[in-house]
């Protein structure tokens, strides 16, 4: 018997007491990440990324330059379903991070109105 088996009662309470990132958000996210991996290998994703165009900025970066962005992030209760996933360039995906669509729009508006 290993440590995990011998100390299962110690491990569960700590894990169970950890709050979810957002009320109603899936805990752990392992299942969603697995579904995202499956989608990334699907014909649907290949077709979606064939043009190599970022959903947010419209830049053509090629298929390999696109990442899978969750419109509603997993950390905010989103899922790895087709309706919640778009191809995004790495720059846009990194900047969007965990923002919801309205927050992302506010961010874009703020940088558009910032004098250079």
- Three-state DSSP at 84 gives helix
What is the C-alpha separation between 30 and 90, in angstroms, rounded? 22
> Is 60:68 a contact under the CB 8 Å cutoff?
no
User: How would you write the pLDDT of the chain (116 residues) with one tens digit per residue?
Assistant: 676 777 666 655 544 444 444 555 545 568 888 898 999 999 999 999 999 999 999 999 999 999 999 999 999 999 999 999 999 999 999 999 999 999 999 999 998 887 76
pLDDT at 14: 46
Residue with tokens 């014909």: 43
Query: In this structure, which topology does domain 21-112 adopt according to CATH?
Result: DNA Binding (I), subunit A (1.10.30)
Q: What is the residue extent of each domain of the chain?
A: 21-112
Beta bridge partners of 46: none
pTM of the full structure: 0.70
pLDDT at 79: 95
pLDDT at 19: 42
């Amino acid at each position: 018997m290993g440590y995990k088996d011998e100390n299962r009662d110690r491990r569960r309470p700590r894990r169970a007491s950890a709050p979810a990132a957002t009320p109603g958000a899936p805990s752990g996210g392992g299942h969603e990440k697995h579904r995202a991996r499956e989608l990334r290998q699907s014909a649907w994703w290949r077709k979606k990324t064939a043009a190599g165009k970022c959903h947010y900025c419209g830049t053509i970066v090629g298929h390999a330059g696109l990442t899978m962005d969750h419109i509603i992030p997993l950390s905010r209760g989103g899922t790895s379903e087709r309706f919640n996933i778009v191809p995004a360039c790495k720059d846009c995906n990194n900047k969007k991070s965990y923002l919801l669509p309205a927050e992302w729009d506010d961010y874009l508006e703020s940088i558009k109105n910032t004098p250079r």
